[in-house]
Structure 1
Amino acid sequence: MSIKSSNLGYPRIGENREWKKALEAFWAGTLEESNFLQQMEQIRLHHLQKQKEKGIDYIPVGDFTCYDHMLDTAVMFGLVPKRFPYEGGVVPLQTYFAMARGSQEAIACEMTKWFNTNYHYIVPEIGDRTPTLTENKPLLAYREAKEKLGIKGKPVIVGPYTFIKLSKGYVPAQLPALILQLVPLYQQILRELEQEGVEWVQLDEPILVSSLSKEEMETVSYIYKQLHEAAPHLNIMLQTYFDSVEFYPDVINLPVQGIGLDFVHGIGQNLRYLTTCGFPEDKVLGIGVVDGRNIWRSHLPHKWKLLRTITSAVPEDRVWLQPSSSLLHVPVSINQETQLDPLVKEALAFADEKLDEIQVLLNGFRSGENATIEEFTRSQTALSNLAQSPERNRLKVHESVANLGHQHAERQSPFVQRRKKQQQEKKLPLLPTTTIGSFPQTLEVRQARQKWRKGEWTTEFYEEFIQEQIEKWIKIQEEIGLDVFVHGEFERTDMVEFFGEKLAGFTFTKNGWVQSYGSRCVKPPIIYADVEFLEPMTVKESEFAQSLTTKPVKGMITGPVTILNWSFVRDDISRKQVAYQIALALRHEVEALEAAGIQMIQVDEPALREGMPLKKSAWENYLNWAVKAFRLTTSSVQDNTQIHTHMCYCEFHDFIDSIRDLDADVISIETSRSHGELVSSFHEHAYEKEIGLGVYDIHSSRIPSVEEIVSMIERGLQVLEPAQFWINPDCGLKTRGKEETIASLRNMVTATLIVRDRLTSAQP
């Protein structure tokens, strides 16, 4: 057996986002369920056929989904929360999507980030129902690929321990019983795959790269012993990714036939483990050699040298070459990028190109290194040309980052003193109401932007249109009765892309879409060079909005760490250095807003938590520079300028010191789907600054009732002082419809007035 190639997962969305369009047509009622399922099948088979044509030996099947792979696993086990209608058996599509998106009758399941990526998964809820195998999804995926394409695929399944650890609804003491419930279901899946004649199955266990305890690793060993005994003749590839494994000797001795390791993001430790501890002679090593999370071309000569080092320890006939993770996290193909600067385009590789790189490296082993010289030289030249470009060698930017020790990164006065000045000047009521920033981006707004970009509208005409939208929504906010306004961000396509378009060092693709959650796709900017401020970016719209009202209007900026984490970032310097470059550029924008009279400035950092390393030992270093980047952006303003920030849900008890260290005057946190969990953490951890806990979920189209929001506010007041509590939705309203937005905000304000009246009447 010679060296083989493998893939871990392929992007779902399609070259032209066909997947997204089919989903949204089905949800809108313009595509019947049978036609929807037919389109899903066509997209799925097309993806498999592409991988077959590229010569991939082990093609993943079952990685495709109609929404999310963790949700698929949950419904495969019948884990449908009791608030959704379900009578057993195969979970209906309507119930499946209700779990993901919510319905008028039931709140959606919680959604959070998949490890430290920008992909969101639906969090399974365990406890409402006893797990049962409703259908063997991996088996169905295998049969489909074999019967319709002649592909004997490699079924992909979320591993049992990763699935359990990423689920909610149980306490640690219930874990042994839960394992005893779930392991037999995994055993049944594997037995049926073995009986079908499946050669290899991929069990994804990325949880093994996180900071596990020895006891947890022993639990993993127990689980895999049970799985092996159930299907002893089925080959299991235990796949890890995103970092190095924690317990290498234990992992490589698990009763599986293959181990997949990340030699991109976990290269240092994984390579040390491999060279010092060795690798079992009876196992296959999956070498994650091509970066599955970033879009840069591989430096193939360097990759070749790495592979030669690894194959000196593990024979070639027991090696698979593969991406470091699923290619879910990168765009599909570079082919449609006709407008990119050739300097940048030549240095990029999307999913299809990464599979090509795997095959080039494979060819080096099968046909000899001479067969790869042309491709090796091309990759090296492309990356070298970019490294030597003027855009990556801006002396002023390099000097500013080098001199950060002289940059002021603290506010003039401590929070207590600032708060008094701000209260005296702004005179806000108890429980001030506001929104997070964006208002609905209607079809009219999107079409206007396209007409302007295509040159059909002049800049002057387009700016007049934007002002009309701002004026309309300022009036709506007045009518609703909000206390602090926003201008609505109608001029912005995306909260990161907008700033990237106005800063030096960024470039953009035409079709570089990736899935964020559900049908929500984003087109991350590419930070390819040194970042530098050019001119004010948000002042015009903020200043105009403020001129229309006596209520305060927040200036809205995306923070440096979120811009970093939601972009594809150059990999020739550290992420810390890039974050500091962005922070110093944004600092100019904050100062320009303040100079224009905007005295509330929100610097959003929803991605601050998600960028944290998977290993706790690396948290402190990351948080130190991430917090410093935020403070570099915000610290130069006067005391009476109120700095706000917004964050997505985070494990508050793990993060509270860093949230304090940001030194923002007001922070809002996305908590509606997990409100009770965050509120309970305040019982253990006091927080003295002002804070808004999201009181309703904007990811669902359902309109929250007044009573529901009153209950949410009152739960927050159990642990927060009224004077520090702000009332807001849990995130921006860009993706919502106009009428549902207005109705929801009216209910939010009404609920706030009810609680505010109770509080004031209770005062002596």
Structure 2
Amino acid sequence: MLSHNLGYPRVGSQRELKKASEQFWAGKINRDALQKVARQIRHENWITQQSAGIQMIPSNDFSLYDQVLDTSLMVGAIPERYNQLVDGKSNNELDLYFAMARGVQKNGVDIKAMEMTKWFDTNYHYIVPEFVKNQKFNRYSDKAIVEFEDAKQKGILTKPVFLGPVTYLLLGKEKEAGFDRINLLDALLPVYIEIIKELVSRGAEWVQLDEPCLVLDLTNAEKLALQSAYAQIREAVPNVKILLATYFGALNDNADLAVQLPVNSLHIDLTRGAENLPDLITNQNFVASSKYLSLGVVDGRNIWKNDFRNSLDYLNTAITALGAERVWIAPSSSLLHSPYDLDLEKNEDILTPEMKNWMAFARQKLSEVAVLAAMAGTDYEKEDAFIANQAAIESRRSSALIHKPEVKTRVEAIKLKDFERENEFSVRQAIQLEKLKLPLFPSTTIGSFPQTDEVRQLRAQLKKGTLSQQDYESQIEEEIVKSLRWQEELGIDVLVHGEFERNDMVEYFGESLSGFVFSQNGWVQSYGSRCVKPPIIYGDVERPAPMTVRWSAFAQANSGKLVKGMLTGPVTILQWSFVRDDQPRKDTTFQIGLAIRDEVIDLEKAGIKVIQIDEPAIREGLPLRKSEWKAYLKWAVDAFRLSAAGVADQTQIHTHMCYSEFNDIIDSIAAMDADVITIETSRSQMELLDAFANFNYPNEIGPGVYDIHSPRVPTIEEITLLLEKALNVIPARNLWVNPDCGLKTRKWPETEAALRNMISAANLLRESVAVER
């Protein structure tokens, strides 16, 4: 049985790539220094996989920012606005690449970044390809060939990995009307074919083409595109062996299509699509073919130790049907979504030996794949590795740490009235207008302000014990007061306290809730250089004590203006954590919802009149198949309402969502019944507002007018234009002015300049619109 891997984390075990990238952007190191770090990470990844016993190792799974952006550069899908950066010089490729990802504003060049959105139902963000009607493709970047040769020089014959051509097109956007991007396939394929041919000429035996679109609902045109794409590739490069990789779900009605494609091996995700295995191994077309079947039995998206018994049942079932030589084993998906190495967790006070024994990070998952490959088809129950694995599984199943009867009882006691505010929005809005006395086009920010090195150092010193709790809190108070005075001077209407005491919007709450545990080095990439350390939900969740009231109350006491209480919503806490897999996700979410509800009520008691419950992950959590949407949206919306509905009508509830398409779930967003919703719209030039306009969204809305994921500072004219666009579809009395997202990752100079321009634009709009409020 052959063992292989679909992809490996690329930020480095100590986040070396993050640090080097940010130094490069700041001008502190040159491109050669950045590429040296990148090469070192790639080399370490290949050696790690080789040492673990992985027989087929990927290349081109590494990326300096994003694999979809890599594909756009590879095929020359470079939007016209970047033409001034395309000069044919190889040393310019990196500047162009990062300009597409982050925008650029220097030396007289001012270009906006490309859009960014979520990769399927994960918390990873990709750069959205942009297509025009007569889109031209050409071979621009040879990254895949460079990395294949790099590995070959290290004595490792890799399997180059590419995002498949059909999935690539489907992940993009048409930037003008009158065509369907899927019809660009014939123009795109020659670039793929040219690169695959060269790889074969250089010794590549296998290439991996990722087509996760096969787990989605596909149109007939999209299915025909897949058939055409692989027929053309096979005809053009008959001697290449193709591994077609699917993941994140089941093939279901696309199974016959996948089986018929002219590829040599098919990978399926059994952690999310186990129902496909019986159908595939009894599919006569597949059985009669010589194709290999790759089984993704080790979960690439969670941190729990694999249950060897379940995995071996799958593997042996496939071996019985197809023979051991036709069955491969791999993680379910790329390990991009897993932390690097559990062995880096040294602090037993943070992650106890008992809990650590339940887990496997990326490096451990490689070992699981190799061990399972060796045990499949044998009398494995006598093997030491199997016995130890089953002991760990049972330890977790029976642990007293996990279950709290009082938490389960409280969830069971939830009543319908717990999901409802006292009155409907129209009544609440009138009360809030009277009580809050906000101006037309009220301005606010989403929550966090830049976390300087000094602020981060305060937390580090507190953890090390070199700074007392009292001194720490005193200095955080100084930061809060300073930010309040700055916001007041600027003229922002609803202030925030800046969240200087918080590490991450989910981690901070997880640290205060029972049922969560944390790693020291469990970093995963969210986008570009942005890494997060997801909490681990291992057991029943409750709130032992207030989490944010102390800081919110302090901030409100130090300003005559309204200061928002800032919370993260239950669905987002769930989605951005590694979640227990021993009970339905709905149950875990409702437990978190009750904890947030308690916090909301305590904030109101403390005099906080505006409370924001961020839910950027509701759209992200949507199942990939539409047939499963209704059930998910029902409990996700209910969880938010459960967290928000315990306050009086005069308390204004905000929520925030970013980098999501809303058209298909706008009725559910309305059903959340937040008084104000703020959303990301600046990169799409307000396109996302169409969903709210077409739906006639009744509540107040703040379409982001400033892209915080780019360092460029928008002009007053840009922001004014965006607000005027918004005013065409949103009633003036319902329109707020705010950035796209929190500002934690930005620097203070660009933040101050951008927010000054935002407030100037809001003031100009107020002057030009005379509306009774």
Same fold, TM-score > 0.5, yes or no: yes
Contact 1:7 1:322 in 2 (8 A): yes
Corresponding residue SS for 1:217: helix
Cα distance change of structure 1 residues 408 and 683 upon mapping to structure 2, 3 Å threshold: closer
Change in CA separation of 1:654 and 1:172 when aligned onto 2, cut-off 3 Å: farther
Residues 323-354 of structure 1: CA deviation (Å, up to 9, x unaligned):
00000000010001122111110000001100
Q: Which residue of 2 aligns with 1:98?
A: 99
- Figure out how many residues of one structure are paired with residues of the other and give that number: 759
Q: What is aligned with 1:364?
A: 375
Q: Which amino acid aligns with 1:213?
A: T
Deviation at 1:536, TM superposition (A): 0.5
Residue in structure 1 matching 2:406, options 383, 396, 399: 396
Q: Which of 124, 130, 143 is matched with 1:125 structurally?
A: 130
Deviation of 1:81 (Å): 1.5
Q: Give the gaps of 5 or more residues in structure 1.
A: none
Q: How far is the alpha carbon of 1:750 from its aligned partner?
A: 0.6
Q: Which moved more, 1:35-44 or 1:599-608?
A: 35-44
* Distance of 1:562 and 1:763 partners within structure 2: 37
Q: Paired residue for 2:290?
A: 282
Q: Is the 8 A contact 1:155 1:200 kept in 2?
A: yes
Which residue of the other structure, out of 484, 487, 509, is the alignment partner of 1:477? 487
Equivalent residue for 1:314?
A: 322
| Contact preservation (8 Å) 1:364, 1:371 | no
- Alignment partners' CA distance in 1, 2:517 and 2:8: 25
* Paired residues for 1:33-432 under 5 Å: 33-84=31-82, 85-87=84-86, 89=88, 90=90, 92-104=93-105, 105-127=110-132, 130-147=136-153, 149-170=154-175, 173-175=179-181, 177-245=183-251, 246-275=253-282, 279-280=286-287, 281-339=289-347, 340-365=351-376, 368-370=378-380, 373-405=383-415, 408-432=418-442
- Given candidates 713, 730, 741, the residue that maps to 1:703 is 713
Task: Indicate whether 1:513 and 2:512 are aligned.
Answer: no
- Superposed, 1:332-731 pairs within 5 Å as 332-339=340-347, 340-365=351-376, 368-370=378-380, 373-405=383-415, 408-731=418-741
**Cα deviations across residues 290-316 of structure 1 (Å, max 9, x unaligned)?**
000000000111211121122222221
Write the distance in 2 (CA, Å) between the matches of 1:141 and 1:559.
41
Give 1:277 shift.
Answer: 5.9
Partners of 2:677 and 2:596 in 1: CA distance: 19
Counterparts of 2:746 and 2:411 in 1: how far apart (Å)?
40
- The SS at the match of 1:603 is strand
CA–CA distance in 1 between the matches of 2:382 and 2:685?
A: 55
* Paired residue type of 2:27: G
CA distance in 1, matches of 2:649, 2:462: 39
Output the CA distance in 1 between the equivalents of 2:681 and 2:62.
29
Contact 2:86 2:96 in 1 (8 A): no
The ranges of structure 1 where at least 4 consecutive aligned residues each deviate by more than 6 angstroms after the TM superposition are none
> Under a length normalisation based on structure 1, what TM-score does the superposition of the two structures give?
0.97
Alpha-carbon separation, structure 1, partners of 2:412 and 2:279: 32
Q: 1: distance between equivalents of 2:455 and 2:768? A: 40
Q: Is the partner of 2:275 in helix, strand or coil?
A: helix
Deviates most, 327-336 or 643-652: 643-652
User: Residue 14 of structure 2 aligns to which amino acid in structure 1?
Assistant: N
Question: What amino acid does structure 2 have at the position aligned with 1:215?
Answer: A
Determine the C-alpha separation between the residues in 2 that align with 1:295 and 1:633.
27
The structural deviation recorded for 1:167 is: 1.1
Q: Distance in 2 between matches of 1:478 and 1:125?
A: 40
Question: Which residue type is aligned with residue 50 of structure 1?
Answer: T
Residue 20 of structure 1 aligns with which residue?
18
Distance 1:549-1:610 versus aligned 2 partners, 3 A rule = same
Q: What is the CA-CA distance between 1:157 and the residue it aligns to?
A: 0.5
CA distance in structure 2 between the aligned counterparts of 1:639 and 1:405, rounded to whole angstroms: 20
Once superposed, what is the RMSD of the aligned Cα atoms? 1.7
Deviation at 1:372, TM superposition (A): 6.6
Distance in structure 1 (CA, Å) of the matches to 2:694 and 2:674: 21
Q: Is the 8 A contact 2:541 2:591 kept in 1?
A: yes
Cα distance in 2, alignment partners of residues 9 and 372 from structure 1? 32
Q: Structure 1 residues 22, 746: CA separation in 2 closer, same or farther (over 3 Å shift)?
A: same
Give, in whole Å, the separation in 2 of the partners of 1:637 and 1:663: 13
- Which range moves more in the overlay, 31-40 or 573-582? 31-40
AA aligned to 1:348 is M
Q: Encode CA deviations 1:467-502: one digit per residue, 9 max, x unaligned.
A: 111100110010000110111111100000110000
Q: Deviations over 1:86-131 (max 9, x none)?
A: 3354561111111111111011111111111111111111228621
Kindly state the Cα deviation for residue 137 of structure 1 after the two structures are TM-superposed.
Answer: 3.0
Judge which range, 339-348 or 674-683, deviates more.
674-683
- 3-state SS of the aligned residue for 2:130? coil
Unaligned runs of 5+ in 2: none
Q: Give the letter for the 2:15 counterpart.
A: R
SS in 2 for 1:668: strand
Q: TM-score, normalised by structure 2?
A: 0.96
Q: Which amino acid aligns with 2:230?
A: Y
Residue 214 to residue 273, structure 1, CA distance change in 2 (3 Å): farther
> Contact 1:422 / 1:639 at 8 angstroms: preserved in 2?
yes
Stretch moving more, 68-77 or 87-96: 87-96
Q: Shift of the alpha carbon at 1:275? A: 4.0
Looking at structure 2, the residues matched to 247 and 218 of structure 1 have their Cα atoms a distance apart, in angstroms, of 12
Which amino acid is the alignment partner of residue 263 of structure 1? Answer: L
CA drift at 1:371: 8.2
Give deviations 1:573-609, integer Å, cap 9, x for gaps.
Answer: 1111110110011111011001111111100001111
Q: CA, structure 1 residues 372+81, in 2 after alignment: closer, same or farther (shift >3 Å)?
A: farther
Whole-Å separation in 1 of the counterparts to 2:127 and 2:496? 30
User: Quick one: distance in 1 between partners of 2:701 and 2:567?
Assistant: 18
Measure, in 2, the Cα distance between the counterparts of 1:745 and 1:17.
Answer: 30
Distance in 1, matches of 2:436 and 2:23, equals 46
- CA separation of 1:714/1:12 partners in 2, compared to 1, >3 Å: closer, same or farther? same
Does structure 1 conserve the Cα–Cα contact (< 8 Å) formed by 2:114 and 2:127?
Answer: yes
2-side partners of 1:35 and 1:536: how far apart? 46
